[in-house]
Structure 1
């Protein structure tokens, strides 16, 4: 089976972790500070604050922006549940706006009509590694005095019109879960050019402490460890290489998939670098489950990202959420992610294409 994801951990990551363990300083310490500085430099922001996960990064960024009870945050329903859940954690309400059917990202043309006096922020997701269309989103936000917080959990190293993802809004949030384009085993980070925001997040991630044992606000234990940061320092050095391999793998797949009936290859916007956290195809004949079964039985792993719009999840239904986003609902029923990770070799890519060709012959 060719897996849908395959984290690459090599001897240099292991050696860095061993050095941290030998140092005796395994909680948040100097290695976290080093990782923060290097990640901020990579993205092109003044500050980066490392935390325990991508979800906690979103939670703290929203809190730092002052999002709370009675506020609304505009976001996409076509994402991992953490995007919406992080808004709920603050006491605010996620307001779901439909997606662009080509990019699967938040459709800027639908944002304005969702803005109310309670709207505090816009939370676009750079889904699958392709940047959301940030210029019109930022323009709408500026005209309505709203924060823009990027959910960049899947877009490490992606570029939008010459600028790195992570430096396009007031804040941006990355995840370092093992399947991401780079990992720290678990972890997240918030990037920003706003010192006040960065300082708030540093306090909130550590029990609300401004000084040791002096708690000024209600905070959390959302810190990253030096063990995780040690992995991140090494992975960051490899990120561009990992991404380039993903891009090359995606180009090979698209070249061949465009010739296969019944499958739609991913669309790439102009003036972006799509870093292909996922390579997500679309099945156009309505028999997705049959395609998945066939593909898996023939040795290729798959995923569905994502099968249920967030507002249709049981949690949101129980909370009374009532939305209709036709493009998100249609995509949820048609997308399949197939392997694109850097570990794939030529034989793997040839096999993936052959299996998809055989599937097409069976179902078209």
Structure 2
């Protein structure tokens, strides 16, 4: 019987505490300070991109990316339904219409063929999601975007450090959104960033996240600033960026730890019938923001959830229903291709506890609980 196993734990240490204390005790620059600059520079170095612009969430990162690409009223944006609702919400927030395409079963990412079927004369962009930490078929989707002259905006919220054919996800499209929410690969509590090599997109994002201001830092300037457009306040606080800096220093170790946990899970479940762990097209590219399994039937999933709950082991369904079937979207008239694969996955997936230092004994407890649930 388990003493209780959480779905995730935040990997903090004394370096995180020291950075936050440093930011707070400086007594100034809590809104925009040196840790913001350092974190952005660190992200640019990690991803080898020209621009990394921090914001206050992965959701606002997506919104900024869409707005920078000029997406708005009258435009359609192809998105998956098998994703967190923010992916579709941000499309609506900028005034455009989300068009749901289906996923393919190998990665749970957008199916390039379904995307092709959803393209119309009003399509302006494709927003693929790298699900659970595995890269989608991003190069195939990039080819579709190029063919139809569409923006490719990567939602890489769950896949910090994952690669596709040797390239870091987030660096393949025109622009990408990252998330640093508390359960992500690199957590800061809340926070996000937009990364791109496009100077014009970066300039637009930098202005929009700070009220449309294009002049120097407001708090260091004598004047009131120059404003070229309507914008909002999506800036990342210095205290949050301080956590980002310390987390970035250990992110490779965190990814390595997650992969080792996943390796144990996969070994324990290898010969178990009725369940299959989610994988990537190339196993070495998955960073396992979530460790998700798919059952043969919805009934098996219900049984396992019941058994794990009895053992005080956390689990969670990501996602049911798909976005297209939520109350917010189920009256949406502009639906793309058939979403059969999305609906099938939604009925069968389950995320198990996953974090970099999850003890081996806990992994065995989770696997034993899952196996017991399947036998009922």
Which TM bucket (shorter chain)? over 0.9
Partner residue in 2 for 1:142: 146
Residue of structure 1 in register with 2:253 after alignment: 241
Q: Does 1:330 pair with 2:334?
A: no
Q: CA deviation at 1:297?
A: 1.1
1:343 aligns with 2:357: yes
After TM superposition, give the deviation of residue 126 of structure 1 in Å: 0.3
Aligned mates of 1:120, 1:217 — CA distance in 2 = 22
Structure 2: gaps spanning 5 or more residues: 216-223
Partner deviation per Cα, 1:159-194 (whole Å, 9 max, x = no partner): 110111121111010000000011122100000001
1:64 to 64, 68, 73: 68
Cα distance in 1 between the residues matched to 2:113 and 2:15: 46
Q: Which of 314, 323, 338 lines up with 2:327 in the alignment?
A: 314
Which residue in 2 is equivalent to 1:3? 6
Please report the TM-score for the alignment, with normalisation by the length of structure 1: 0.97
Q: Aligned partners of 1:38, 1:335: CA distance in 2, in Å? A: 35
| 1:281 equivalent among 265, 272, 293 | 293
Per-residue deviation at 1:357?
A: 1.8
Residue 75 of structure 1 is aligned with which of 36, 54, 79? 79
Matched, 1:118 2:132: no
2:57 counterpart residue number: 53
1:272 shift after superposition: 5.4
Asked if 1:220 corresponds to 2:232, the answer is yes
Contact 1:162 1:271 in 2 (8 A): no
Cα RMSD (Å): 1.3
Q: CA deviation at 1:318?
A: 4.3
- Alignment: residue pair count: 362
Structure 1, gaps ≥5 residues long: none
Q: Which runs of 4+ in 1 moved over 3 A?
A: 318-324
Structure 1 SS opposite 2:214:
strand
- Structure 1 contact 44–164 (Cα < 8 Å) conserved: no
Q: Match of 1:293?
A: 306
Q: 1:104 & 1:176 partners in 2: Cα distance?
A: 22
Residues 186-201 of structure 1 correspond to what in structure 2 (within 5 A)?
186-201=190-205
Q: What secondary structure, in the 3-state scheme, does the structure 2 residue paired with 1:70 have?
A: coil
CA contact (8 A) 1:304 1:336 kept: yes
Q: Distance in 1 between matches of 2:350 and 2:77?
A: 28
TM-score by length of 2: 0.94
Residue 215 of structure 1 and its aligned partner are, at CA, apart by 2.0
* Separation (CA, whole Å) in 1 of partners of 2:99 and 2:251: 33
Displacement of 1:271 after TM fit?
7.2
* Kept in 1: contact 2:77–2:126 (CA 8 A): yes
